[in-house]
């Protein structure tokens, strides 16, 4: 399977990325010539990670008949100091809300995503130290 995106320069440091029929504007910070018209490329890597693993976890939990009241994934990435700057440490927070959520099933769903299903995790763990935390808010 092959994926293809088209990223077209629009003005200054701004580009339009065409992905699966959708357009995302990416831009740089004003101090490097951008106009802040959209997110920066590197943080979108963290969005990809959160989306990939989040979809896995919800899919797995649905099969386990576990339905949280709400669920979100927060990701923090620490960049190297020198160029080329890349994320060398990433922490993923899986935040569930609900009563009587079975921690063993939450852990299993997260573990399956991290070790078997999420391709973004598989790519990033080759260059970054990955950490995970599961949080239940009632």
Q: What is the domain extent for residue 26? A: 1-39
Q: Are residues 18 and 46 in the same domain?
A: no
Provide the number of structural domains found in the chain. Answer: 2
Contact of 49 with 42, CB cutoff 8 Å: no
Contact of 86 with 127, CB cutoff 8 Å: yes
Q: Helix or strand or coil: residue 91?
A: strand
User: Distance between terminal CA atoms of the chain?
Assistant: 41
Q: Are residues 62 and 19 in the same domain?
A: no
The per-residue pLDDT for range 86-117, each reduced to its tens digit, is 999 999 999 999 999 999 999 999 999 999 99
Per-residue pLDDT of the chain in tens (138 residues, 90 and over written 9): 999 999 999 999 999 999 999 999 999 999 999 999 999 999 999 999 999 999 999 999 999 999 999 999 999 999 999 999 999 999 999 999 999 999 999 999 999 999 999 999 999 999 999 999 999 998
pTM, two decimals, is: 0.95
Q: Are residues 29 and 48 in the same domain?
A: no
């Amino acid at each position: 399977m092959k994926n293809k995106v088209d990223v077209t320069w629009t003005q200054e440091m701004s580009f339009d990325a065409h992905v699966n029929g959708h357009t995302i504007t990416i831009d740089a910070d004003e101090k490097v010539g951008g106009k802040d018209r959209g997110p920066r490329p590197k943080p979108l890597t963290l969005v990809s990670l959160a989306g990939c693993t989040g979809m896995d976890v919800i899919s797995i939990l649905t099969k386990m008949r576990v339905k949280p009241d709400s669920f979100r994934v927060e990701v923090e990435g620490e960049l190297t100091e020198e160029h080329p700057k890349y994320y060398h440490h990433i922490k993923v927070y899986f935040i569930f809300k609900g009563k009587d959520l079975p921690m063993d099933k939450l852990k299993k769903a997260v573990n399956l995503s991290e070790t078997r299903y999420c391709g973004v995790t598989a790519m990033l763990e080759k260059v970054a130290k990955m950490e995970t935390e599961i949080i239940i808010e009632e």
